[in-house]
Amino acid sequence: MTGPALPDLDCRQNVEQFVDQFYQRVLADEQLAPVFLDVAAIDLDEHLPHIKNYWCKLLLGQQGYRRHTMNIHRALHARRPLTQADFERWLSLFRATLDEHYSGPYAEKARRIATAIAANMEQNLPEGTV
């Protein structure tokens, strides 16, 4: 007997919930928490709405996000080089959050997009430091 079906990331409410769940993992992670909290010094009240808008744009086509993510991460990378291990850990936590809480075509789309984002970031940050 199987349990209830997991929700998909097919509406803003679920995307926002996913982002909250994912960031709980990231900010509790020994490897990534210092990058977000100490180096980037993110203000969660400011940062999370941007990330929620970003994923709603990518998954649902909503137009609330207008920032340039690569420039933001280049600035972070200049302060503390992001490593291949950082990208692998980020992707691992992303996938684990999906696997635990979501299922369906939008969740699979999120998985593909996150994989592409991690690869793109890793490829396009300054040479020799990733």
Q: Is the pLDDT of residue 1 over 70?
A: no
Residue type, 61: G
| pLDDT tens for each residue of 72-98 | 777 777 777 788 899 999 999 999 999
Q: What burial class does residue 126 get, using C-beta atoms within 10 Å of its C-beta: 0-12 exposed, 13-18 middle, 19+ buried?
A: exposed
So what's the pLDDT on residue 106? Answer: 98
d(CA 61, CA 120): 20
State yes or no: 50 annotated in a binding site.
Answer: yes
So what's the pLDDT on residue 88? Answer: 94
Q: Which residues contact 29 (CB under 8 A, 6 or more apart)?
A: 89, 93
How far from chain centre, in Å, is Cα 24? 11
Q: Is the pLDDT of residue 9 over 70?
A: yes
For every residue of the chain, which 3-state class applies, written as one string? Answer: CCCCCCCCCCCHHHHHHHHHHHHHHHHHCCCCHHHHHHHCCCCHHHHHHHHHHHHHHHHHCCCCCCCCHHHHHHHHHHHCCCCHHHHHHHHHHHHHHHHHHCCCHHHHHHHHHHHHHHHHHHHHCCCCCC
State yes or no: 47 annotated in a binding site.
Answer: no
pLDDT category of residue 130 using cuts at 50, 70 and 90: very low
Q: Domain residues of the chain, as ranges?
A: 12-124
Q: Is the pLDDT of residue 12 over 90?
A: yes
When mean pLDDT is compared over 46-50, 69-73, 114-118, the highest value belongs to 114-118
Kindly state which CATH superfamily the domain 12-124 is placed in.
Globins (1.10.490.10)
Residue type, 88: E
Pairwise pLDDT comparison (27 vs 67), residue with the higher score: 27
Find the Cα–Cα–Cα–Cα dihedral 45, 115, 26, 50, rounded to 10°.
Answer: 0
